């Protein structure tokens, strides 16, 4: 079984990235052949600073390794180190119906948030389909809000198979419902676009500040509170033990504890949870060539697969 997932290097990784994508992806490396790419081509739709893009890409690699990715079990590489991806994207684009792309929610959502209506943003799902199909991927871990992208990939693969013969597998989603949406400091989905994130490896003072800034309602200290609707409790549930969660939930129901106290407890649990990963991160940074070596080996493994798939595609389409 081949597993494929990617993450954009659009800025510092936050705990929404970790629980929504990285933790499930790292767990899957024990189930099959895992390929994880840093989507630097995708990032070009929003990031136009070349220095920042290169720095962010290395930081994503560092953070992914610190969080537990094992380069002996999973290939980690830059999207741009596999040029066959963009070649395949063009070929896929020649059969992709415009209507299919016009129905994509992501494009509409990004325009609504002020993104420029570029051709790259519009055809983003085609490049994503190439990312997945170029490796004959079997499983793609996604959140429920990203499921449409995989459905588009399957639709494009079916169109290619109908046009040129049996070229591509139809990848299946792996949805992790328990980490559907990680709330940000404003209780919306945690996202760099919303500026509501808590970084995985932020400085202690800044992390505490971000946690203490979580938006709450005006329920008095003595009054009972609803844990289920609280971003504080939802975040705490990701890092606390079952017993700790039960204790906090009971305190919410009972009243007598203020949101400020709950936030302090959340910060302490977050800081403790990521402590081993901070240690691994420091150890990796102490090895200057380690990240470059991991990315080079990952790209070599990815290119070996992509070469075979692309040869099959070129032969089928006549180029």
Query: What SS3 string covers 291-303?
Result: HHHHHHHHHHHHH
CA distance 203 to 287: 21
CA distance 166 to 94: 17
pLDDT score for 146: 73
Please tell me the least confidently modeled range out of 173-177, 229-233, 305-309: 173-177
Q: Both tokens of residue 34?
A: 């895992």
pLDDT score for 194: 84
Catalytic-residue membership of 189 = yes
pLDDT tier, 180 (very low <50, low <70, confident <90, very high otherwise): low
Q: Where in the chain is the domain with CATH 3.40.50.620?
A: 2-182+288-317
- The stretch 268-281 carries a mean pLDDT of 98
- The stretch 221-237 carries a mean pLDDT of 96
pLDDT tier, 174 (very low <50, low <70, confident <90, very high otherwise): confident
Backbone angles phi, psi at 172, to 5 degrees: -110, 145
Say whether pLDDT at 115 is over 90: no
Say whether pLDDT at 212 is over 90: yes
Q: What is the reported pTM?
A: 0.92
Q: Which of 23, 159, 169, 189 is catalytic?
A: 189
Q: Both tokens of residue 274?
A: 């990521």
Q: Where in the chain is the domain with CATH 1.10.240.10?
A: 202-273
CA distance 2 to 88: 19
CATH of 2-182+288-317, one of 3.40.50.620, 3.40.50.2300, 3.30.565.10, 3.40.605.10: 3.40.50.620
pLDDT tier, 6 (very low <50, low <70, confident <90, very high otherwise): very high
pLDDT score for 24: 87
Please tell me the least confidently modeled range out of 6-10, 92-96, 289-293, 304-308: 6-10
pLDDT tens for residues 50-62? 999 999 999 999 9
Q: Which of 23, 159, 169, 192 is catalytic?
A: 192
Q: Both tokens of residue 319?
A: 């180029």
Domain 202-273 falls in which CATH fold? Tyrosyl-Transfer RNA Synthetase (1.10.240)
Residue linked to tokens 């709330």: 183
- The stretch 34-45 carries a mean pLDDT of 96
Say whether pLDDT at 179 is over 70: no
């Amino acid at each position: 079984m081949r597993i494929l997932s990617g993450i954009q290097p659009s800025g510092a990784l936050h705990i929404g990235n970790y629980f929504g994508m990285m933790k499930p992806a790292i767990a899957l490396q024990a189930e099959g052949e895992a390929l994880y790419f840093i989507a630097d081509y995708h990032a070009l739709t929003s990031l136009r600073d070349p220095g920042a893009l290169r720095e962010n890409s290395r930081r994503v690699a560092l953070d992914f390794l610190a969080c537990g990715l094992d380069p002996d079990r999973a290939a980690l590489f830059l999207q741009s180190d596999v040029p066959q991806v963009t070649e395949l994207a063009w070929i896929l684009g020649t059969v992709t119906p415009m209507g299919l792309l016009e129905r994509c929610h992501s494009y509409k959502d990004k325009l609504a948030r002020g993104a420029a209506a570029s051709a790259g943003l519009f055809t983003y799902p085609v490049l994503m389909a190439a990312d997945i199909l170029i490796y004959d991927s079997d499983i793609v871990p996604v959140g429920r809000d990203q499921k449409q992208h995989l459905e588009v990939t399957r639709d494009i693969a079916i169109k290619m198979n109908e046009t040129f013969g049996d070229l591509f597998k139809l990848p299946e989603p792996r949805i992790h419902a328990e980490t559907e949406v990680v709330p940000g400091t404003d209780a919306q989905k945690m996202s760099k676009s919303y500026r509501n994130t808590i970084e995985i490896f932020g400085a202690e003072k800044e992390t505490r500040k971000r946690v203490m800034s979580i938006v709450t309602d005006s329920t008095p200290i003595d009054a009972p509170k609803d844990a289920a609707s609280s971003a504080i409790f939802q975040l705490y549930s990701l890092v606390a033990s079952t017993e700790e969660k039960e204790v906090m939930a009971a305190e919410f129901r009972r009243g007598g504890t203020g949101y400020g106290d709950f936030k302090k407890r959340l910060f302490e649990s977050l800081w403790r949870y990521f402590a081993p990963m901070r240690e691994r991160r420091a150890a990796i940074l102490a090895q200057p060539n380690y990240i470059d070596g991991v990315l080079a080996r990952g790209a070599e493994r990815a290119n070996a697969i992509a070469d075979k798939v692309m040869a099959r595609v070129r032969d089928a389409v006549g180029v």
